[in-house]
Amino acid sequence: MNTELNCNDKHSKLNATRVTRVLYPASEEEVIVAIRDAAAADQAISICGARHAMGGQQFGSDTLLLDLSALTELQAVDQELGFVEAGAGLMWPELLEGLLEQQEGQDAVWSIRQKQTGADDLTLGGSLAANIHGRGLQMRPIIDDVEAFTLIDGSGCRHRCSRGENKELFGLAIGGYGCFGVITSVLLRLTPRQKVERLVEITTMDRVVSVLEARLASGCLYGDFQFSIDESSSDFLNRGVLSSYRPVDSARGMPPARNDLGTTDWEELIHLAHHDRAKVFQVYSDFYLSSHRSLYWSDTHQLSVYLEDYHSKLDHDCGAKVPASEMISELYVPREHLTRFMEKAATLLRDGKVPVIYGTVRLIQKDDESFLAWAQHDFACIIFNLHTEHDREGIARSSAAFRALIDVALEFGGSYYLTYHRWARRDQVERAHPQFCGFLEKKEHYDPGHRFQSEWWKHHRNLLKP
Ligand SMILES: Cc1cc2nc3c(=O)[nH]c(=O)nc-3n(C[C@H](O)[C@H](O)[C@H](O)COP(=O)(O)OP(=O)(O)OC[C@H]3O[C@@H](n4cnc5c(N)ncnc54)[C@H](O)[C@@H]3O)c2cc1C
């Protein structure tokens, strides 16, 4: 049996899907040929990058899977405008390395503004398709960093999309989860690379927004807040480590090695997060406090260790009867409601039946360009990683917990991220993403033959059927 055809997402491993064939086109021409051949054979296509989305967006059963990870061409940086054309299959570490290599020896270097935190081997195409964000204190999602991109539609036609050309497709495909075609390359807007200093303090949820906003006002570019996950403590989802990053004089000497948590540290933290949630906060905050005022680069400080397949090892080490993984969810609330939201979330999760393994608060600015915009306001973003056992009861517990969290976010006029699961009820999708029905109509318009299909799209089409 060809195991390559049995696909699954890499993090949650809860999206097993069988496809009929996998192709790895390495150029735009090969993408066009693959799509035209599929169209001639009336074969549906699914599109993947690094396979980290967790709602079945990248696979469709019985589809031809186009894996775009070989589209890795990087052109020369436009030194005047600070733009670079990059292949949609490029992952962040390769992109950063390529940019640094090209500009080696220059005083002023262009680099990325934002990327995801927590994982690096994610493609540009996947990042656009989910309209991702990082920990910028005053940033919109990645659509704001995109000048243009090339999209190949369901009949194999090429479209350049920007704010001036094919504007509607520009806003649909960014945050469009592969429903409108294959993005082959992206013209990214870069920013000058800077030295930044990490500022660390321990604080509580009621101060998070005001401190992050004050940090922003004092010139910090990035920041977030990691909260305690110890459900037996009054600190649960309340006390945490607030880090922010402030530009410093470029003449300051950079230490030879980055002062950061390495693979072994993360292995220990992950182990503790599963077995000793009081201690994990202590270890994490001790490290962060010890790194107060350490220097980093504005781009590479956004890279982080990701432990491939860590849960299989954890399951093995503790003799778990059922395999498990962490399911992520991201909730959004107007910033003034963050504390009340977190109090209610703590009440929901305090019984520990669905342990919180990791959680963060960040800020996002309103996105008024993408069609299916999730950043509908200047929100506080709350990320929860919930331990999820892969049996019927475990999945039911986690999905119920996420639905309950979405209800609380909605109560405060908030929303949730569509990337991580498809567990929301119909009424929740409709309230959190009122543009979703319009999005499905646009999909019919631009892809009437349903050339591009995924489990995520099929699920929402059926869920929202009139
Ligand atoms: C541990 C972890 C941490 C994360 N942290 C963050 C975070 O901090 N911020 C955040 O915003 N997100 C975060 N994410 C979510 C992640 O950014 C998205 O799931 C992203 O889409 C993954 O990119 P990928 O290359 O793995 O794409 P895939 O999972 O392969 O695909 C995701 C979507 O992109 C589409 N797609 C992929 N390539 C193309 C292409 N070339 N053309 C058109 N469509 C394409 C697919 O069809 C699919 O709909 C995180 C995920 C994990 C697992």
Q: What's the pTM? A: 0.98
Report CA(47)–ligand 1 centroid distance (Å): 11
CA distance linking residue 164 with residue 167, whole number of Å: 6
Of 88, 10, 16, 26, the residue nearest 59 (C-alpha): 16
Of 239, 238, 415, 417, the residue nearest 342 (C-alpha): 238
CA distance linking residue 243 with residue 199, whole number of Å: 6
Report CA(244)–ligand 1 centroid distance (Å): 25
Q: Is 417 in the pocket of ligand 1 (CB under 6 A)?
A: no
**CB of 419 within 8 A of CB of 57?**
yes
Count of residues in the chain: 466
Report CA(286)–ligand 1 centroid distance (Å): 31
Q: Is 47 in the pocket of ligand 1 (CB under 6 A)?
A: yes
CA distance linking residue 38 with residue 156, whole number of Å: 9
Q: Is 419 in the pocket of ligand 1 (CB under 6 A)?
A: yes
Report CA(453)–ligand 1 centroid distance (Å): 16
Instruction: Give the list of residues 6+ apart from residue 195 with CB closer than 8 angstroms, or none.
Output: 247, 248, 249, 250, 252, 254, 295, 296, 297, 298
pLDDT for 258 equals: 83
Report CA(51)–ligand 1 centroid distance (Å): 7
The mean of the pLDDT values for the chain is 97
210-225 confidence digits (pLDDT tens): 999 999 999 999 999 9
Q: Whose CA is nearest to atom 19 of ligand 1?
A: 53
Report CA(460)–ligand 1 centroid distance (Å): 18
Report CA(56)–ligand 1 centroid distance (Å): 11
CA distance linking residue 88 with residue 69, whole number of Å: 8
90-114 confidence digits (pLDDT tens): 999 999 999 999 999 999 999 999 9
138-187 confidence digits (pLDDT tens): 999 999 999 999 999 999 999 999 999 999 999 999 999 999 999 999 99
CATH 3.30.465.10 domain locations along the chain = 1-193
**CB of 459 within 8 A of CB of 61?**
no
Q: Whose CA is nearest to atom 32 of ligand 1?
A: 126
336-354 confidence digits (pLDDT tens): 999 999 999 999 999 989 9
**CB of 92 within 8 A of CB of 115?**
yes
Fold of the domain built from segment(s) 1-193: 3.30.465
Report CA(10)–ligand 1 centroid distance (Å): 11
Q: Is 58 in the pocket of ligand 1 (CB under 6 A)?
A: yes
Strand order in the sheet with 158-162: 83-87, 182-189, 146-152, 158-162
Bridge partners (DSSP) of residue 45 are 64, 452
CA distance linking residue 136 with residue 362, whole number of Å: 8
**Residue written as tokens 């509607």?**
168
**Which numbered atom of ligand 1 lies nearest the CA of 118?**
3
**Which numbered atom of ligand 1 lies nearest the CA of 133?**
11
Of 375, 299, 333, 301, the residue nearest 209 (C-alpha): 333
Q: Is 133 in the pocket of ligand 1 (CB under 6 A)?
A: yes
Q: Whose CA is nearest to atom 14 of ligand 1?
A: 116
Q: Is 87 in the pocket of ligand 1 (CB under 6 A)?
A: no
CA distance linking residue 142 with residue 284, whole number of Å: 29
Spell out, as residue ranges, where the chain has pLDDT lower than 50.
none
Q: Whose CA is nearest to atom 18 of ligand 1?
A: 53
CATH 3.30.70.2520 domain locations along the chain = 195-430
3-state SS class at 398: helix
Q: Whose CA is nearest to atom 28 of ligand 1?
A: 51
Q: Is 182 in the pocket of ligand 1 (CB under 6 A)?
A: yes
Ligand 1 test: best mutation among 23, 122, 224, most atoms within 8 Å of CB? 122
Report CA(348)–ligand 1 centroid distance (Å): 28
Ligand 1 test: best mutation among 24, 31, 47, most atoms within 8 Å of CB? 47
Q: Is 49 in the pocket of ligand 1 (CB under 6 A)?
A: yes
pLDDT for 1 equals: 64
The single-letter DSSP state of residue 33 is: H
3-state SS class at 184: strand
The 3-state secondary structure of 300-369 reads: HHHCCCCCCCHHHHHHHHCCCCCCEEEEEEEEEEEHHHHHHHHHHHHHHHCCCCCCEEEEEEEECCCCCC
Of 108, 136, 83, the residue nearest 195 (C-alpha): 108
195-430 has which CATH code? 3.30.70.2520
